Chain A
Amino acid sequence: MNVKIKNSCAQTGRYLIILVALIFFLFPIVWIILTAFKTGEEFMHSPPIWLPRTPTLSSFDHIVRSGGLKALFNSIFIATSVTILSLVVGSLAGYALARFKVGGENLPFFILSQRFMPPVAIIFPFLLFFKALAWMDTHQALIIVYLTFNLPYSVWMMRGFFIEVPIEIEESALVDGCSPFRAFWSIVLPLVTPGLVATGVFCFIFSWHEFFFAVCLTRSRAVPLSVYLPNFFGKEMIMWGEIGAVSLMAMIPLFFMSFVVQRYLVRGLTLGAVK
């Protein structure tokens, strides 16, 4: 009897902790989403009003009229291009590292280490090159620079996925006279499709979130959402409604994506260390 009470107490305590944690982790997200639907009077009200009394879409209207869709397009275009490039080049290299052990033990780790390169250590040469090429404020500048962190990531992740494919499948194909590239393309690659999708989603997320390179290399034409957002944080006036609306625009696609790759979330975030 005593044990039973003790157990149910522990169980209640558990759910209480979970409840508190959920409130802590979700409250800020809910708050910024609600702000998107508040009127100026509501988000500039002291004490703050929690739920918008007269929900409005005027903030969304404003961002659509002030180039918000262009920024959304830029983000999608840049992130998609980098993702495709990283996947193509990365899966080729990942395959060679996994199967042929190119460069021994050190090459994979060298490539992985590039993932942690601080952006500030390479930004200045890029500034000078892109100025000289008149590539400042262009999509291709950001696409190239985003390869610095996405390509190493993609190589490393894909290597992990290829290692898991039993080697016998290709061996029999190679014995039958299949070229190494064909074996890679039409036999092994289809087997790692889930891994390819998961890696791609993470490359997309990293590019989508990136801010430092984007703020240094874009002005107006090629700004992605992350650089577009600070426009509404003026020195004189802070347009919280618009900030909320852009934030919502930036969050929703990723929430869906993270749902799609739920099975691979841990693996993707821990660089394959936890499966």
Chain B
Amino acid sequence: MFRTLSTIVFLATFLGIGICCVLFPCCKECRWRPLAILRRAIRIFTMLFLEQKLSLVGALRKLVYLLALLYFLVLAITSFYPVLVLKEPIHGYWLMLHATFAPVFAICLAVLAVMWAGNCRFNKSDWPWLTRILERVTLVKSSSEETVSEAPGLGQKITFWLIVVLALPLILSIILSMFSLFGTYWQELLLDIHRYTALAFAVVAIVHTYLVLRAKMKE
């Protein structure tokens, strides 16, 4: 069941991203020539480097993000590869790698939550339609809030908060199962929560990464 669902969800996600790339290209003069694709790949790669203009906190923020991205990749591979490709539950060295990288990833998530939350909070410009409705209902004219030029788009914000919110059940479900608190029924339930939350988390993280890359490409 989980294997089938994961396969469908991942396929749908990548298909959706693919369609989005084709229908809404991030640059107008997008070309599908090999040279253009190579150039774009190099550009994406250079995004991994720390820019000179970044402050210490900015550099730290980017480093943590890159580290989280790397660890996410490792965790996603070690958890979904055995299930989807080898068709067996995660065990052996896969499990050890997974458990080794997981705590560092949790730290990265906590740091990112602290560092990115301010930037990713929603403001009026994210929901103009909601603002208009509220103004009509309450008859209060909202003050114009200054918008941060570097603030991420709505999609990024939503996916960021989804990541943060999903991280809680994702981590807690597996950590709580390590305490002598829950019996077999709850252990199985916690494992299921971990599995399905991980699937949702992975999809959201992929979409978030895509949106970040897309925004950077636009810049």
Please indicate whether A and B come from the same complex rather than being unrelated chains: no
Residues of B within 8 A of A (CB): none
Residues of A within 8 A of B (CB): none
